[in-house]
Amino acid sequence: MTTYGRYPITFIRGKGSWLWDNDGNRYLDFTSGIAVTNLGHSHPAIIKALREQSKKLATVCNLFHIEEQADLAELLIKNSFADKVFFCNSGAEANEGAIKLARKWGGANGGRYKIISAKGSFHGRTLGALSSTGQREYQKGFRPLLKGFKFVPYGETDPIRRAIRDEKTCAVILEPIQGENGVIVPPDDYLKKVRELCTNNNILLILDEIQVGLGRTGRLYAYEHSAIVPDIMTLAKALGGGIPCGAVLANDGVSISFTPGSHGSTLGGNPLAMRTGSAVLKAILDNGLLDNSSKLGDYFNNRLKYIENKFSSLINEARGKGLILGLEFRRKEIAKEAVNKCIAKGLLTILTVEKVMRILPPLTVNKYEIDFAINKLEETLEEVQYA
Catalytic residue of the set 29, 30, 114, 208:
208
Distance CA 147, CA 191 (A): 25
- In the chain, the DSSP E strands lie at 11-15, 18-21, 26-29, 84-88, 114-118, 149-152, 169-174, 204-208, 232-235, 246-250, 315-321, 324-329, 347-348, 350-352, 356-359
Q: Which residues pair with 358 in a beta bridge?
A: 326, 350
Entry pTM: 0.97
Sign of the CA dihedral with 229 first, then 235, 237, and 240 last: positive
For the chain, the residue count is 387
Catalytic residue of the set 114, 237, 341, 355:
237
For residue 319, give Cα distances in angstroms to 139, 178, 208, 255, 364: 27, 12, 20, 36, 20
The segments of the chain whose pLDDT lies below 70 read: 387
Domain 11-30+288-385 has CATH 3.40.50.2300: no
Model pLDDT, residue 386: 81
- Out of 3.90.470.20, 3.40.50.300, 3.40.640.10, 3.30.465.10, the CATH code matching 44-286 is 3.40.640.10
Catalytic residue of the set 30, 86, 87, 122:
122
Model pLDDT, residue 387: 67
**CATH 3.40.640.10 domain residues, the chain:** 44-286
Q: Give per-residue pLDDT as tens, 17-73.
A: 999 999 999 999 999 999 999 999 999 999 999 999 999 999 999 999 999 999 999
Model pLDDT, residue 42: 98
Strands 324-329, 356-359: pairing is antiparallel
Among 367, 351, 366, 356, smallest CA distance to 320 is for 356
Model pLDDT, residue 363: 98
Q: Give per-residue pLDDT as tens, 126-176.
A: 999 999 999 999 999 999 999 999 999 999 999 999 999 999 999 999 999
Answer yes or no: 237 catalytic: yes
Among 274, 361, 229, 233, smallest CA distance to 60 is for 274
Model pLDDT, residue 81: 98
